[in-house]
Amino acid sequence: MTAPGGTSAHAELAALRHMVPGVLGCVVAGVDGLLIMHDTVSATEPHDVAALAAGAHGISRTTGAVLNQGGFTEVTIHNQNGYLSVYAIGDLALLVVIGDGGLNIARLHLEARPVTARLASLLQLRTAHHQ
């Protein structure tokens, strides 16, 4: 999955992890919870993270529908010692970011949103090549 400019989807994940202090890993998953790719230094199993992201997406998507707030964009779960943020990559994939307790969530949102747009383009390229 490489864009014409030479940027790969894996490079996008690694760059996000390195740009934002506190990011322990990035996962790309289908909305069905299946793992597509990952770049993590966390001990957490990427397949489990993909499944968790699908659950968070489902609840968020239903909430948006019930409240007439539109389609899913992103959701962040903040626990005592860290974060899990899930961002839409188009309609069929999710960018999932695992963060430690020191993560600056505002900085993550600022950096992650453009990454989702680039990943959407890269994933479309992949789909086009497989048809």
Strand ranges for the chain from DSSP E: 23-30, 35-40, 74-79, 82-89, 93-100
Domains detected in the chain: 9-126 (3.30.450.30)
Give pLDDT tens digits for 23-66.
999 999 999 999 999 999 878 899 999 999 999 999 999 999 99
pLDDT band at residue 131 using 50, 70 and 90 as cut-offs: very low
- What pTM, to 2 d.p., does this model score? 0.89
